[in-house]
Structure 1
Amino acid sequence: MKMRFLGRTCLIVLSLLPAVSTQRDGSSVVGSDQPIIASPGEDVILPCHITPSLSAVDMEVRWYRDSFDIPVHLYDYQSDWTDIQDSDYQGRTDLSILALQEGILSLYLRNLRHTDSGVYSCYATDGVWDGQGKTELIVRALGTQPSISMDSTQGEQTWLVCRSEGWDPEPEVIWRDRDGNDVTSLSNTTVQRDSQGLLSVSSYIKVKQQSNMFSCLVRSKTPKPEWESKLHISSDFFPGVSGWMVAFFLTLALSIGAIPLLVIQWRRMDAMERKLEPMGKKITY
């Protein structure tokens, strides 16, 4: 009787295996169809999930970039394996056990670096079934507000230089004249990488007398904010004005432009002091 019972039990189990296998064969791992865009220092979640929903608690879940054998994060046997994790990611990644129960394999990545940009693969397997999805991460560093200055003046030829630093990836520089025409083709742009791996751009353009208004637009090639600066050059500077005169009037113009900002800041500080003054009077010793 016992042998018959065990035999029937084995047949039942074996008959269920194809059904389980079919269910998982119909599942797939899906990443993000849109790149995840963030800035250095931020925390992000790289999306990935199994569809239809299937628990991944007992699976191997592996996130990696260039090498399958050097994972960004490895979860297996219900534990995180940090000893073989890529050293660049140690202490910065997490998977949620509760999310794994719902088939959500999303990776939590902290304190982004510009070197984290790239395509991440999300792999899951139970030993028989496996699936893989991909998610792209773009770590975009938005550089400083561009500054425009006169680099040199020789006779009737004056060069303007537009500078901005702290970018990644390389930004786009656009010059426009007073009529809004794109004159970028008349400029020369150089790009240098600093010790932190970020990019600094310097763009030069020759000024002519008939064009006395220039704007320099420096923008990221990814869909994020952009910076623009403008400089008005009076026709009085042409022709033959000495270099120190140009520098003097340019400095004067920039100083005058800064006065409204200083006034606004002073008013804010004065208003803050007035708010805090009644509170200070209430303090007794």
Structure 2
Amino acid sequence: MSVVAKSWLIVHRGEAPLVVSLPHTGTEIPPEIEARLVSPWLARKDADWWVDKLYDFAGDLGATVIRTAISRTVIDVNRDPSGASLYPGQTTTELCPTTTFDGEPLYRDGQAPDDAEIARRRAAFFDPYHAALTAEIVRLRQSHDRVVLYEAHSIRSLVPRLFDGPLPQFNLGTNSGGSCDAALTASVEAACDASSLSRVTNGRFKGGWTTRHYGQPSEGVHAIQMELACRGYMDDPVKTPTPDAWPAPYRPDQAAPMRAVLNDVLSACIAFARDPA
């Protein structure tokens, strides 16, 4: 496996027909942006904590792993770059978020980014991330008839502003079946359902912009999103988290059952992509 890295963008290249995207594990915020924020802790609160550690076996399967170290508060590389909502009529966050998942303001009064700054952030971070994703998909398609793009995410189990009640532990998103072949969905569902952990498909999370944009089954690119409930691998707060308790540490013993399922999930993705049918 080769590694291509710049200060904030890391690509671990594999040869299996699987690309794992980690768009929200970053916590880096340029100083000139952090100075305008209400709280550095609030700005990092909604990171997909420890997901890169949770999937650190992916390279051993031959997957290509792409990760940004930049915080989603700077720019969310899984949002529509036009600014259009992915979930019309439902609460969500913007391309450059101005509130946390819990509705707390991220910026001091008058300090939120304007359109010109959003465009600069897009050019600096969003566009290079997706250029890297595109390049790796194109590279792998040269040697594989099918490639799976797997979007790896996590979120607290309870976020009342975004959804009612606790999330299942595995939340699959396929843009209501449009971003991948039904056989891939079924094989991932089977891997999840073989465990004692809960699962839903196309529930509150149907896949972000990346899943919807790249998922072109007729072109040999099948995209699926996995949103994990954090309680599968760390202590998950039952109330709005506080700085003294969040993020909770990664717990290897707690994570072991979920990691075993995720290993089966990624293996199922590779098997699907290699199936000549």
**What TM-score do you get using the length of structure 2 for normalisation?**
0.22
**What TM-score do you get using the length of structure 1 for normalisation?**
0.22
Q: Give the structure with higher Rg (CA).
A: 1
Report the structure, 1 or 2, having the larger strand content.
Answer: 1
Report the structure, 1 or 2, having the larger helix content.
Answer: 2
| Larger RCO: 1 or 2 (CA < 8 Å, sep 6+) | 2
